[in-house]
Amino acid sequence: MVTFLAVLGVLVGIAVVIGVIANTIDAEGEMDPVTLQKTAERLEPVGAVYTDASQVPAAPAPKASAANAARSAEDIVQTVCGACHNSGLLNAPKIGDAAAWAERKKAAGGLDGLVTAAINGMGSMPPRGGDASLTDEQVRAAVEAMLK
């Protein structure tokens, strides 16, 4: 019993000491402002309902389509198509593999067939190589650039 009470006393003593230390470290109970801001951001509503058209905020400006239109075929091939066609990823026909491309061109019935496949997607290739912002003309130019 004596030992038990002694241990209990020591533990209570330690608890009091820890409590005092904790109070001195965080005396005002303030939280880190960065943490507070992040918490507020996480608690923001994901959407809002407007009952009056005039309240609706302007839609964000569409992606710079002028910049998109200016992308050259070579640029598109490197940044979009090259992800698969440079290395033959997912069994994509490799750029520069003339035999593979000639075979595909024949099977697809010419350049138009290849372009249609690139626009609509084929097998593991997503439509437009996965970049929906590309126009039909840009995809055609990219196919032509790849064949070169």
Residue 30 backbone class (left: φ over 0; alpha: ψ -120 to 50; beta: rest): beta
Whole-number minimum distance, CB 88 to ligand HEC, in Å?
A: 9
104 binds ligand HEC (CB under 6 A): yes
Token readout for 92 is: 């994509």
Q: Contacting ligand HEC (CB under 6 A), which of 23, 90, 120, 135?
A: 90
Residue whose C-beta lies closest to ligand HEC: 123
Among candidates 11, 143, 148, 9, which has minimal Cα distance to 81?
143
Cβ–Cβ < 8 Å for 136, 119? yes
Q: How far is the CB of 63 from ligand HEC (least distance, A)?
A: 17
Sign of the four-CA dihedral 130, 135, 141, 144: positive
User: Does 92 interact with ligand HEC (rule: CB under 6 A)?
Assistant: yes
Answer for which of 124, 133, 136, 148 binds ligand HEC (CB under 6 A) is: 124
Nearer to ligand HEC, 39 or 124 (CB): 124
Decide: 73 and 145 in contact? Cβ < 8 Å. yes
Q: Would you count residue 135 as binding ligand HEC (CB under 6 A)?
A: no
- Interface residues toward ligand HEC, by CB under 6 A: 76, 80-81, 83-85, 89-93, 104, 108, 113-114, 117-118, 122-125, 128-130, 134, 139, 142-143, 146
